[in-house]
Chain A
């Protein structure tokens, strides 16, 4: 059975790139895409993905608010992997506080992207799992996210 992914990013070229990377894996498939956080909860309820890749900065409803809604309104919410351009982005920590399971840098290599999705879908959110420099799972509950996440790998 393949893992379902939903992509949320306001940049179509980021979405199309990630979609190609994910769909190229036999065990992963992109179920849906959104360019804004507003409709994500409804989409997730309909498509039931395992992982949502969520951009942080978006117009109208940003990734932080969308993550919060997702986790508040669904009984079995998917894992949320936050997409970010820069590591030292305060919004990322806000998204992790809102309940995201980890963050993925947009500069991550394709194999890192798919590995992060697989690990997250398998329920990984502790620091004992192998990690790469370009994505980090969050420790749940995030104690003090900035400190925990910027610790040397």
Chain B
């Protein structure tokens, strides 16, 4: 229970008047439905009896129309914004609910809209009715004959015996303020349940956040591995060339050539990572799965890489989590192949067996072009994905080919 001092402070609080404003908006929203009710009742009066017509009209307009309104996504957004601003409630991000909100969410927002309009209607009506009632009640002790209370049907007898009405009348506006605050508090309490995301939507949002984070980490790692690596070579080689320029011209010349190559590779990798960062649509698109593999192969081909793909087994029956990761692994493998193999043909085989998904990607090694380092770089991402699914990966040169073989269990082992 709030202490008396706190209760007295309520009318002076800013939040009180914000809540009042929220109810006034609710009251304003009532108007179209009231008007509609009137019209419908009028139209029905000809056929059905007056009472039946009113019942139908009131039921239709007081419930069906606002429920339908409340189900609209933009209305939900507006209600969330208004509840945050005026009721001061914390509702989880509206963008958690993407394009198609579930029916349970629609029903919850409809319930909220009806509650907002109903509470607003009551408090708005009282706000309009009360002032003339107060004035007439205060004048009653001084009047002769009956006094009508504002525009209400009720009357009170004039004269001193109505003096008791005066303090009551003077206190009633304050009571209305407390009523508004109380109703606002009640609404604020149910707001998170009615306006917030459903557990499924929260889960979806958490998944998207995790995906975004994983993607960022992947990009950071890629920058680290590619651009950081290239710039390190450039720095060390340039420093060395400067040191030995007078004594070992051949080394300096070779260093310049290596610097050029490394810097070029670094720039190309930077281009790739920046492209991923810029590609905003990729972040919003649903995470691709093996079902999108043909498209990936096609786009790799259109980038000028000779890919042969052999996909066997029930790819559509691979569990989603495995399917997503497998797609990423293929994507990263193809990227690596494109980066290191230049124009060499790439062969991809993917087989979905009873227990495992087997993935193999090979490309002939260019014997004339020694692989600088290479061992491990660019593979980190693949290794992490495979490890997270308790799969196995082998990668390395094998009989004149660069080969990466991945095996992922289709079902979690206990």
Contacts and interface: CB of A to CB of B under 8 A. Distances in A.
A20 B239 CA distance: 9
Contacts of B232: 11, 14, 85, 106-107
A11 B237 contact: no
Interface in A91-110: 106-107, 109-110
Given A85-B224, A85-B228, A106-B235, A12 B372 contact: yes
Interface stretch (B41-49, B84-92, B211-219, B242-250): B242-250
Contacts of B96: none
A59 B376 contact: yes
A21 interface: yes
Interface in B255-270: 255, 258, 262
A13 B372 contact: yes
Contacts of A17: 233, 236-237, 239-240, 255
Interface string A4-16: 0000001111101
Nearest to A15: B236
Interface in A3-52: 10-14, 16-21, 24, 35-36
Nearest to A17: B236
B275 interface: no
A85 B229 contact: yes
Given A85-B224, A85-B228, A107-B231, A13 B236 contact: yes
B39 interface: no
A10 B377 CA distance: 10
Contacts of A86: 224, 228
Contact of B376 (A10, A12, A20, A21): A10
Nearest to A112: B239
A19 B248 CA distance: 13
Nearest to A11: B373
B231 A21 contact: no
Contact of B244 (A12, A14, A24, A107): A24
A53 to B, nearest CB: 11
A16 B252 CA distance: 11
B239 A16 contact: no
Contacts of B373: 10-13, 35
A57 interface: yes
Nearest to A85: B228
Q: Max chain A CB contacts within 10 Å: which of B240, B242, B258, B376? A: B240
Contacts of B248: 20
B369 to A, nearest CB: 14
Nearest to A106: B232
Contacts of A35: 373, 375
B233 A20 contact: no
Contacts of A107: 231-232, 235
A32 B345 CA distance: 38
19 contacts: A10-B375, A11-B372, A13-B237, A16-B237, A16-B255, A17-B237, A18-B240, A20-B243, A21-B240, A24-B240, A24-B247, A57-B376, A60-B375, A85-B229, A85-B232, A86-B224, A106-B232, A106-B235, A107-B235
Interface of A: 10-14, 16-21, 24, 35-36, 57-60, 85-86, 106-107, 109-110, 113
Interface of B: 224, 228-229, 231-233, 235-237, 239-244, 247-248, 251, 255, 258, 262, 372-373, 375-376
